[in-house]
Amino acid sequence: MQQYSNNIQLIPTKYPNIFNVALRLGFQTRYIGRLDKSGEGKFIAKRKEKHIHRKTKSLGINLELLKQPFKFIEIELDGQKLQTTREFFLHYGKVLNFQKAGFELQSFLPLNLFGAERAIAFENNSQWDLFNQAA
């Protein structure tokens, strides 16, 4: 069974709750990582230095994928694990459009903003702000 969300295809693996994430672009399909839906969920990907957006020194993730329900992002960049949360990525990432080059909308987060502690602190502060606004 395959699950679709417009251009994102989640392909089940032999492991429960783990899906290969495929991007359907016209006549081609690109595998962009794995989505682990157990617990709060985590998108896991491997990238190389060539994937870094040079001008902004950032890494991009498909914007449609970032709208899926999961909490954590883990990108292995040439052996180094970069971690953040989806909410932090959406808040601080910059959306860039490279449709003319054959790419989809992506959100780019600068490398210096990755860090699980920073992202979790951001989410905790955001939730605290919402709580205070409701009071």
Rounded mean pLDDT of the chain? 85
Mean pLDDT, range 97-122, rounded to an integer: 84
Residue 98 clears pLDDT 80, i.e. is over it: no
pLDDT digits (tens, 9 = 90+) for 14-66: 999 999 999 887 777 889 999 999 999 999 999 998 888 999 999 999 999 99
CA distances from 111 to 26, 56, 82, 129 (A): 30, 9, 8, 26
Report the alpha-carbon distance of residue 28 to residue 45 in Å, rounded. 19
47-56 burial, b at 16+ Cβ within 10 Å, e below that, comes to beeeebbeee
pTM of the predicted structure, to 2 decimals: 0.85
Residues 6+ apart with CB under 8 A from 76: 44, 45, 46, 47, 82
| Domains of the chain, residue spans | 39-134
Q: What percent of the chain has pLDDT over 90?
A: 56
Q: Report pLDDT for 1.
A: 42
